[in-house]
Structure 1
Amino acid sequence: MRRKSVLPLVGLFLVLGFHHVISESPLPNNGECGFSSDDKDLCALYCYRSMKLGLAYIIELKEKIKILEENHSDSQLSKAVENLQSKIDQQNTQIANINEFITNSVRQKEVEEKAKSQTEIDNLKRIVEQLKENFENVQRLAAKDKEESLAEQSNRNREIENLKENLATQKSDLDEAIKDLESKKKEFEEYQTKEKNSNNKIGELNSKISSLEKNSQKEMDEKAKSQTEIDNLKRIVEQLKENFENVQRLAAKDKEESLAEQRNREIENLKEKLATQKSDLVKAFKDLESKHNELKEYQAKEKNSSNKIGELNSKMLSLKKKLEESETQLTDSNHLVKKHSLQLNQTKEYLIECREKLPKPNCKGISSGIHEVEIPRIVPTSVLCEGDIEGGGWIVIHKRFDGSVDFRRTWSEYRNGFGNKEGEFFIGLDNLHRITNSQTYELYVQLGFHNGTFLFASYDHFRIGNETTKYKLESLGEFRGTAYDAMKINLNQAFSSFDQDNAQLINGYCTEWYGAWWHNDCGLIHLNGKYFNREDYDCSSMSWWNCMSLKSFQMLIRPK
């Protein structure tokens, strides 16, 4: 029963404790709690402190309740209720104050937010107006840029045309510059010769100047020596004057002292000394006059030397100035030479590159291998060149060496050519006709035997006809070689293949037995016969004249 009467009091204490916590907790200034993101930390701090105080007050109430349960009485409960009621009234008053404060804070915040929003709206309106104005300016600038772009495109086209004209002008200027460069080169060589001569002359002048300086120094030494002698003579004259004065004084004194004889002897001695000194003085004066004349001559020479040195210095300055001007011109010429040399090297490299890309007119000067050549009346074509036999420059037209290609072919195949230029092949009768009729060609046939020996047959004017003539062997020219002249019986014969036998036959079908060739009654040459990989005496084999099988052969032609 007692516990039930206490429970309402406990609830009342909890409520009062909560109000007490709120009333005891310091409120934030200026209504900051819950109104802006900047005040979240203050609100969190406020709530945390309130909860902390509430928990502490609840603990305190529990302790008070525990004490009341142990020691309560009716009078104490009445007093406790009265105290609680007064505290409730105080808390209600504080709550009313808090509500009023919150209401005022909210209103003030709304007013501030509204004013701030209106300010932001005004700012946004101004920004929108500025953006509209900027957009209109951009549109005007875009239109202007479009017009300027069209004008600039037109200017660019004109500039391109001008550049083309300038390029043509620069090309002609380059040609003129090359000519000027050659002229400058000659002038430079002449200048080098003149400069060499000038250097020699300057060396001679320097030698002369050195010689003059030495003479001048010598004359100056002589002048100093003469001046010393003059000074000595002056001192002697002064001494003589002093002696003469002494003689006069002594003579006067002797007269006064009546010592005439003694003084006379002294006078005679002095006279003799005076005469001697006089003669010495006369001689000294003569020497002095001679030295004076020599000094005048030296001064004249020195003056002439000074004039010559002045002239030489003037010439040297002039030559030095010319040399500096020449060096400046040489430097300019060197810059120009370097510039044109660079342009010439670039042009040379470009021409070399172009020349390397262009087909060669023939195999002359080309190493052995497959190359693109441009033969008259034939489009540029790849041919096998031979550069190691008798000076090179050969075009290989027919080659066999291992039996990898079957040479029993039709007329059209022999006309067009077949095989592989890196192996066994035939260039074709049509190509052979075009080549040999473009200019004079010589023929070289190299024959290789199974025993390792080689022979050759050469003709200095090889030519065949066109298909209308059945590619007749029209010319061979003079023969030379180590093999037998076996082709002479084929001259003026038409070419034959197994499907078109044009041979002048006596005994059957030559091509069936001996292969395609310019047969004359089957003849002596069977180079398109069967390939034997051994030495054998068989006229159906690939052979030349005596039916002995060959290991290899190649037919070469080149312009004479």
Structure 2
Amino acid sequence: MQLAACFFLGCGIILASGYNSFSKSMETIGKKQYQVQHGSCSYTFLLPEADNCRSSTPYVSNAVQRDAPLDYDDSVQRLQLLENIMENNTQWLMKLENYIQDSMKKEMVEIQQTAVQNQTAVMIEIGTNLLNQTAEQTRKLTDVEAQISNQTTRLELQLLEHSLSTNKLERQISDQTNEITKLQEKNSFLEKRVLEMEDKHMLQLKSIKDEKDQLQVLVTRQNSIIEELEKQLVTATVNNSVLQKQQHDLMETVHSLLTMISTPNSKSKFIAKEEQISFKDCAEAFKSGLTTSGIYTLTVSNTAQEKKAYCDMETGGGGWTVIQKREDGSVDFHRTWKEYKMGFGDPAGEYWLGNEFVSQLTNQKRYVLKIQLKDWEGNEAYSLYDHFSLASEEQKYRIYLKGLTGTAGKISSISQPGNDFSTKDADNDKCICKCSQMLTGGTNVFMVLSLPIFIGTEIVYQINNFDLVNFDY
């Protein structure tokens, strides 16, 4: 028996094969289809059916075979035929399978090559795009990295600056803390000192208050004493009125005698008056009742030395002892140390009383020094010191002055208080200029100036005569 078969590929490939001897049987034998799916391809097989397999005459299925023994040989033949057909179909299927496998291998290889080529091109294009994208991303990442690096560097610098600033602030805070601690300690010390001073001040205030109370008591007592003395003074004034009248009569008699014994050659301005009674100074003579200006004899206490001096009994209430008087330059004051020590000139005219006598006189009591000035144009001025004394010869007759007043100021005296006396043969002024040589006279507060110098009983503010200098005690 000849067989024929056909199969179809679902992939679009149709194969037909058979033997020429099967063509007739293919027309008469019915066809049976079988479809096989393999991957993306489907295969359809057309297999013929054998006519011998059909039953020529119908039979009843329920009939027993042993009742028909003639049909047994036909069944065996059909089975053998079927086995042969199955064996042929199997062989044919194996050949078809081999053919399909060979065909499919070639097609698959071509398809795979084409796919690989397409995929390679796509992969190359994709790789190129990926490389470009990678390069672009790399460039962007590089830029970002550079920006991040710059930002990081900037942040590091800022962090370093903040760290340095923080360290500096910490040091400053530490220094300020130490300073505050020192100030607190100093403040505590000062508070302690203030408390101590307050306590001390309270004690002083208490002491001052006690002294004030004592002074008030003393002032009250002195006021009582003063009132008593005022009463005694009134009584003494009444008792002395008779003596004053007698003194006035005596003074008139003395003035008359002085007028009678005056000579024509005597100066009208200064009338020389000799008194045989000795006084300590002109103030004592004035208090004794002698109120006429003139020459008096003065004696220092506890000594037998007598000195003729001119006493001004009119200027500033009287009682001024003149220690120097210069008017017309008739007497040379450029003298030696010894001459200034003992004195020179005429008390009735220009003269110097003597440093030794003035030193002894001013060291007994407190005296006031007055210097009266008058220039050739008639301008007048004066200087007044409320305390004056002259040291001993061992201290070079150093002058001591305090409390300057007046209209002449310090111009009236070239030398300053505390300076030593100088003459032409004894330079003690501690100056290279040699004041005694420059001024041609003895130098100290009573310089070789055309001025009178007084010491008297009181400070004189109004002056009428500039030929005098007084001491006061």
TM-score normalised by the shorter chain: which range applies? 0.3 to 0.5
Structure of larger gyration radius: 2
Alignment TM-score, normalising by the size of structure 1: 0.30
Alignment TM-score, normalising by the size of structure 2: 0.35
Going by fraction, where is helix more abundant, 1 or 2?
A: 1
The answer to which structure, 1 or 2, has the higher relative contact order (CA under 8 A, 6+ apart) is 2
Going by fraction, where is strand more abundant, 1 or 2?
A: 2
